[in-house]
Amino acid sequence: MVSRGKSVKQRLRQYLAEQQPPAITEAVWLELRDRLAPVSESYLRDLLRATGLPFAQPYAGIRQHTFEDLEQSLREMQQVYAEAVAAGNRGRVRYCRRQVIAAKDRARFLARHPRTAPEKRQQKEEMTHWMLVWLDSPEVFPAWAEARKRVARPS
């Protein structure tokens, strides 16, 4: 049993040691979110990413350390989003969009922050644009990303 007197990190480590999940699935995510409450989803996500376990979307969120991370996570999110739309799962559709919106807001904040280095600021502005395209037309995003990469890196 997980003790309430311990930190979130300690309780997470204890849970992972006891349960030994092979991946962070929807069931694991929901159980951890409940067991570790109150904990922010972003903090829990960061702790779980650090474990190195495979992490299912939409719970893995949007990684944006590099453009490759961003593209991969947006493509993964688009797949989950499309499945949710097809199944009529409006709750999951909204959750996917909220994850992309939160990531876009983080990128936009960094792009506008006065202490952000100019190169990083430019990167985050472009990443914000990528996420706005996804939010406007998730189904078009994969083709748009391919075209954008060809324009950015001509052969």
- Enumerate the β-bridge partners of residue 24: 55
**CA–CA distance, 121 with 144 (Å, rounded to integer):** 22
**CA–CA distance, 18 with 21 (Å, rounded to integer):** 9
Range of the domain at 119: 67-152
Percent of the chain with pLDDT over 70: 95
Residue 5 pLDDT class (50, 70, 90 cuts): confident
Do 144 and 78 lie in one domain? The reply is yes
Residue range 111-127, pLDDT digits in tens: 999 999 999 999 999 99
Specify burial of residue 15 (Cβ count, 10 A radius: 0-12, 13-18, 19+): middle
Residue that the structure tokens 């199944």 belong to = 87
Check residue 22 and report its DSSP letter.
S
**CA–CA distance, 106 with 124 (Å, rounded to integer):** 9
Do 45 and 72 lie in one domain? The reply is no
pLDDT at 139 over 60: yes
pLDDT at 153 over 70: no
Do 136 and 82 lie in one domain? The reply is yes
pLDDT in the model for residue 145: 95
The answer to whether position 59 is within a domain reads no
The pTM of the full predicted model, rounded to 2 decimals, is: 0.89
Question: Identity (one letter) of the amino acid at 115?
Answer: R
pLDDT in the model for residue 70: 97
pLDDT in the model for residue 151: 85
- For every residue of 40-72, DSSP letters joined together read -HHHHHHHHHTTT--B-TTTT----SSHHHHHH
Domains of the chain: total: 2
